[in-house]
Amino acid sequence: MNTTEESKDSLKTIQKAVLKRIKEQINDASFEALFSDDLFSLVSLKNNHAIFVSSSPSLEAFINKTSYPEKIKKELEKITEDEVEVQIISKENYNKLKEKKEEKNYDQKKYFKNSVLLQNFTFDNFVMGPSNRQAYLASLQSVEYPGRYNPLFIYSKSGLGKTHLLYAIGNKYEEKYPEKKIQYITTNNFVDTIINHFKNDESIQIEELKNYFYSVDLLLIDDIQFLADKKSIQMIFFDIFNILVSSGKQIVITSDRSPVELKGLEDRLVTRFSGGLSLNITPPDKKTLLDILKIKIQSHGYSLSMFDDDAMEYLALNHSKNVRELEGALTNLLFNMAILKPQGTITLDFVASVFADEKQIVEKKGKTTIDSIIEDVADYYSLTTSQLRSKIRTSQIALARQIAMYLARDILSLPYQVIGREFQKDHSTVVANVNKIEEKMKKDPSFKSNIIEIKKFVKREER
């Protein structure tokens, strides 16, 4: 969850949902002694960090020696649908912590703590094919010969593997040069950091940020298109870019379009991007899709011998828009396998029956409904309604799902419980996700404009 500030009511709702689940794992006497409202409360949930306050230092010490912090973390992540760090601290120590934070400057080492280099995306589990071969080989070169292609600019539509390559570069570089400094960052996080933290003594803090980047050996920046129309931030990024390139440091950038197609960026930035190596990833061919599907099946712990060739081909070719769509379809299939427990090999007939109700989204007339909102948001992000209604938590699907929840609440004023039933979520998860979108709109004018555009699309009278 990337929330900047939660209302007291929202925090209370989320707290109750978490503790309700904890109560099921503990006897009543112990629960009342540790987690009753007057002893334990959620006081903050922002930047993927949750702070629970206990009534005394002795209670703080006791709880932290038990398995309850990990259990609370597990239940909170189910509700927020995101990785969350949980801190349990006494009220006394929490107040001291707040005082210290007010007294000291922002720690530059924590500028981008939400932009995490995920370790499970590597070159080894990236499936290379004709559609991505050049990008794959150039990514390897950027590790072997840093600075040779600067920047390396990888672009494609959503869900085709460019972020996977970005992570793979970072992980391989870290393995090869453990003494070097790597900074992975999303463009939105870069923008948010500058907007949120550089309000006082701006010139001094901007210089501190630049000094921080000057020590970076490998800069990986995702979704550079979100830098559009942010002129003052583009100027900062331009300075950082130039010093890194001139120092021979490697920069790798991803985008949803080529440098020359980027709108809202200064010409000098586009020129710098175009001066490196720009490579496009296109939709995968049949063989690559099947290879990806096989790896995904095995990653879930299933043997390929459980699926006949026709079944896998049907699944791959009918969900071939991008890798994320294919992942969503496989998740749906595995869910149905677990529920229906088919005997023997998974056949084409079984796979076809699982997706029999999946219809192509078509234009239709009528009143805006939660179904039409889900369909339109899925279409807008090149996803399927099944993915939005699933429990998949990849960033693109999770964001689209949160936007659909927000619009259902904003346009239709539906109760949180009703929205939750559509997505198989409880109402506290819907509260958290709606809050997340509202706060992101407050922070990011570009994101707000995007939401307004989607809202107009789903509310059109003639559908």
pLDDT at 362: 31
Residues 239-244, mean pLDDT to the nearest whole number: 90
Q: What is the DSSP letter of 306?
A: G
- In terms of Cα–Cα distance, which of 209, 214, 170, 213 is closest to 193? 209
CA gap 146, 252 in Å, rounded:
10
Could you give the 3-state DSSP secondary structure of residue 46?
Answer: strand
Residues 375-395, mean pLDDT to the nearest whole number: 84
pLDDT at 201: 52
18-22, 255-259, 311-315: lowest mean pLDDT where?
A: 311-315
Contact between residue 373 and residue 411 where contact means Cβ atoms under 8 Å apart? yes
Name the H helices within 177-252: 187-197, 202-214, 231-246
CA gap 146, 89 in Å, rounded:
44
Q: What percentage of residues in the chain have a pLDDT greater than 70?
A: 89
- Please count the other Cβ atoms lying within 10 Å of the Cβ belonging to residue 120: 9
In the chain, the N- to C-terminal Cα span, in Å, equals 33
- In terms of Cα–Cα distance, which of 75, 76, 89, 70 is closest to 1? 76
pLDDT at 4: 37
pLDDT at 7: 67
Q: What percentage of residues in the chain have a pLDDT greater than 90?
A: 30
Q: What pTM does this model have?
A: 0.53
**Any idea how long the chain is?**
463
Say yes or no to pLDDT of 105 above 60.
no
Contact between residue 131 and residue 282 where contact means Cβ atoms under 8 Å apart? yes
- Mean pLDDT across the chain: 84
pLDDT at 402: 93
99-103, 133-137, 348-352: lowest mean pLDDT where?
A: 99-103
Residues 410-423, mean pLDDT to the nearest whole number: 83
**Residues whose CB falls within 8 Å of the CB of residue 51, separated by 6 or more in sequence, listed in order:** 42, 43, 44, 45, 87, 89, 94
Say yes or no to pLDDT of 107 above 90.
no
Residues 404-414, mean pLDDT to the nearest whole number: 87
pLDDT at 363: 36
pLDDT at 360: 36
Element (H, E) at 186: strand 182-186
- In terms of Cα–Cα distance, which of 418, 406, 400, 411 is closest to 461? 411
CA 268 to mean position of chain CA atoms: 30
Residues 417, 24, 19, 433: is their CA dihedral positive or negative? Answer: negative
Q: What is the CA radius of gyration of the chain?
A: 24
Contact between residue 427 and residue 417 where contact means Cβ atoms under 8 Å apart? yes
Could you give the 3-state DSSP secondary structure of residue 95?
Answer: helix
- In terms of Cα–Cα distance, which of 2, 45, 40 is closest to 19? 40
pLDDT at 96: 77
Residues 211-223, mean pLDDT to the nearest whole number: 89
Contact between residue 70 and residue 22 where contact means Cβ atoms under 8 Å apart? no
Say yes or no to pLDDT of 186 above 80.
yes
Residues 319-335, mean pLDDT to the nearest whole number: 85
pLDDT at 202: 58
CA gap 460, 286 in Å, rounded:
37
Q: With cut-offs at 50, 70 and 90, classify the pLDDT of residue 1.
A: very low
DSSP secondary structure string for all residues of 118-158: -TT--STT----TTTHHHHHHHHHHHHSTTSSSSEEEE-ST
Residues 408-421, mean pLDDT to the nearest whole number: 83
- What are the two backbone dihedrals, phi and then psi, of residue 252, each rounded to the nearest 5 degrees? -125, 130
Contact between residue 84 and residue 71 where contact means Cβ atoms under 8 Å apart? no
Element (H, E) at 54: strand 49-54
pLDDT at 54: 92
DSSP secondary structure string for all residues of 427-458: HHHHHHHHHHHHHHHHH-HHHHHHHHHHHHHH
Say yes or no to pLDDT of 3 above 80.
no
CA gap 288, 293 in Å, rounded:
8
pLDDT at 102: 46
Q: With cut-offs at 50, 70 and 90, classify the pLDDT of residue 406.
A: very high
pLDDT at 365: 37
**Of the ranges 97-106, 115-124, 237-246, which is most confident?**
237-246
197 or 302: whose pLDDT is higher? 302
Interval 4-14: pLDDT, tens: 344 678 888 89
Place of tokens 């190596």: 277
DSSP β-ladder status, 49-54 and 40-46: antiparallel
- In terms of Cα–Cα distance, which of 227, 225, 229 is closest to 240? 227
432 or 357: whose pLDDT is higher? 432
Could you give the 3-state DSSP secondary structure of residue 43?
Answer: strand
Place of tokens 């339109």: 376
pLDDT at 199: 58
* Residue 415 preceded by cis peptide, ω within 30: no
Interval 370-379: pLDDT, tens: 888 998 888 8
Contact between residue 444 and residue 410 where contact means Cβ atoms under 8 Å apart? no
Residues 429-438, mean pLDDT to the nearest whole number: 91
Q: With cut-offs at 50, 70 and 90, classify the pLDDT of residue 47.
A: low
Q: With cut-offs at 50, 70 and 90, classify the pLDDT of residue 359.
A: very low
Say yes or no to pLDDT of 152 above 90.
yes
CA gap 244, 240 in Å, rounded:
6
Say yes or no to pLDDT of 251 above 90.
yes
